[in-house]
Amino acid sequence: MTNRIFYTKPSITQLETDYATDAAATGWGAHCYDYINRFERDFKTYLGCGFAIATSSCTGAMHMGLAALGVGEGDDVILADTNWVATVSPIVHLGAKPVFVDVLPDSWCIDPGEVERHITPKTKAIIATHLYGNLCDMDALLEIGKRRGIPVIEDAAEAVGSVWNGRRAGSMGAFGTFSFHGTKTLTTGEGGMFVTNDAALYERVLTLSNHGRARGQTKQFWPDAIGFKYKMSNIQAAIGCAQLERIEELVARKRAILAAYMVRLSALPGISMNPEYSGTINGAWMPTAVFHPSTGTTREMMQQAFEAANIDARVFFYPLSSLSMFEDRPENVNAWSIPGRAINLPSYHDMSEADIDRVAATLLDVAAGRIYHNSTALRQSV
Q: What is the pLDDT of residues 55-74, one digit of tens each?
A: 999 999 999 999 999 999 99
Residues 70 and 217 in one domain: yes
Taken in order 68, 201, 171, 229, is the CA torsion positive or negative? negative
Residues 306 and 198 in one domain: no
Contacts of 50 (CB under 8 A, 6+ apart): 44, 196, 197, 198, 199, 202
Residue 182 maps to which CATH number?
Answer: 3.40.640.10
Catalytic choice (184, 219, 229, 231): 184
Q: What does the pLDDT read at residue 378?
A: 41
Q: Which of 193, 220, 242 delimits the end of a domain?
A: 242
Q: What does the pLDDT read at residue 368?
A: 84
Q: Tell me, yes or no, whether 1 lies in a domain.
A: no
- Rounded distance between C-alpha atoms, residue 357 and residue 258, angstroms: 12
Q: Which of 219, 242, 265 delimits the end of a domain?
A: 242
Share of the chain above pLDDT 70, in %: 96
Mean pLDDT of 30-47: 98
The residues pairing with 196 across neighbouring beta strands, listed in sequence order, are 51
First to last CA, the chain: 37
Residue 1 has pLDDT above 70, yes or no: no
- Rounded distance between C-alpha atoms, residue 191 and residue 54, angstroms: 8
* CA–CA distances in Å: residue 246 to residues 11, 34, 134, 283, 349: 10, 19, 21, 14, 12
User: Total domain count for the chain?
Assistant: 2
* CA–CA distances in Å: residue 304 to residues 87, 336, 342: 29, 21, 13
Residue 141 has pLDDT above 90, yes or no: yes
Write out the residue range of the structural domain in which residue 209 sits: 14-242
Residues 74 and 133 in one domain: yes
- Rounded distance between C-alpha atoms, residue 205 and residue 54, angstroms: 11
Q: Are 58 and 177 in contact (CB under 8 A)?
A: yes
Q: Are 52 and 267 in contact (CB under 8 A)?
A: no
Q: Are 209 and 61 in contact (CB under 8 A)?
A: no
Q: What does the pLDDT read at residue 241?
A: 98
Q: Tell me, yes or no, whether 378 lies in a domain.
A: no
The residues pairing with 348 across neighbouring beta strands, listed in sequence order, are none
Q: What does the pLDDT read at residue 2?
A: 81
Residue 375 has pLDDT above 90, yes or no: no
- Measured N-to-C along each axis, helices 14-26 and 234-245 cross at an angle, to the nearest 10 degrees, of 150
Residues 22 and 161 in one domain: yes
Q: Which of 242, 260, 285 delimits the end of a domain?
A: 242
184 among known catalytic residues = yes
pTM of the model: 0.94
